[in-house]
Amino acid sequence: MAQGLFISFEGIDGSGKSTQARALAQALRAAGRQVTLTREPGGSPGAEEIRHLLLDGPPDRWSAETECLLFTAARRDHLERTIRPALAQGHVVITDRFADSTRLYQGITRGDLRATVDRLHDLMIGVDPDLTFVIDLDPALGLARARARAGAELRFEAMGSAFQTALRAGFLDLARAAPGRFRVIDGARPADTVAAEVLALTQARLTDG
Ligand code: ADP
Ligand code: TYD
């Protein structure tokens, strides 16, 4: 049986994570791999219910602390019900966002909650992906793309461009601190070009083990 691999996509809103996660899943399936494509918040029935609580409503609906707990609860369910079973069956699991999003959205952008986020992660989650792609993009471009997209939940996007700028810097800092896990990808290029680079890096990782 093939060895499972756990991959996440991270980056600011509208950077192209969902597009790239889908493209990678399709390419790997075409190459004969079994793939589970999933997302956060969500990715299991219980976590999808929590997603609605988190993403619908006004920006100040939850305190940052409450948000941490809700994202962590959703992630724990996602891990138990979707991610771990798929990895055990040898799937490549591709998730659109994971714990790095909490480290930044809840951890650094609204007060310094990073220590709390890290403690909760250690207590309840305890794993990070094998490989994380940060799709890096200028926030102005990301916002324009996100606005053009129909039907998106807008709670976090409504928090503004200074927030997105802080997020972008935060993702790049996380990547610098853990170069073994992260690959920073220039998301301003055409989607096909980005997808080809992501696929090549994933295949290199699958080959190296
Ligand atoms: P995210 O999941 O990071 O919010 P999406 O993948 O949903 O981003 O992309 C946001 C919007 O931008 C979508 O309408 C998508 O079709 C478009 N898009 C994605 N990647 C690119 C790209 N490389 N160039 C131009 N537009 C893109
Ligand atoms: P999503 O639909 O993934 O938005 P986008 O496609 O724009 O990335 O919505 C998820 C939103 O939730 C996004 O704004 C980021 C936020 N989020 C957090 O604040 N913390 C988290 O831990 C996660 C996973 C997402």
pLDDT tens digits, residue range 132-164? 999 999 998 988 887 777 555 555 555 577 888
Rounded CA-CA distance 162/139 in Å is 9
Q: Which of 43, 115, 28 is nearest to 75 (CA)?
A: 43
Q: Give yes or no for residue 42 CB within 6 A of ligand 2.
A: no
- pTM score, whole prediction: 0.95
Which DSSP letter does residue 159 get? G
Q: Which atom of ligand 1 is nearest to the CA of 194?
A: 23
Q: Of 61-65, 109-113, 135-139, 149-153, give the lowest mean pLDDT range.
A: 149-153
Q: Give me ligand 1 centre to Cα 123, in Å.
A: 34
82-106 average pLDDT score: 97
Rounded CA-CA distance 183/166 in Å is 19
Q: Give yes or no for residue 190 CB within 6 A of ligand 1.
A: yes
What are the tokens at 122? Answer: 């250690």
Q: Give yes or no for residue 14 CB within 6 A of ligand 2.
A: yes
Residue 90 pLDDT exceeds 60: yes
Rounded CA-CA distance 157/59 in Å is 9
Q: Write the residue with the smallest CA distance to atom 20 of ligand 1.
A: 16
Q: Which atom of ligand 1 is nearest to the CA of 191?
A: 23
180-187 average pLDDT score: 98
Q: Of 34-38, 87-91, 158-162, give the lowest mean pLDDT range.
A: 158-162
Amino acid at 144: A
* 71 alpha-carbon distance from chain centroid: 12
201 CB-near residues (< 8 Å, 6+ apart) = 131, 133, 183
Q: Which CATH class is domain 5-208?
A: alpha beta
pLDDT on residue 146 = 77
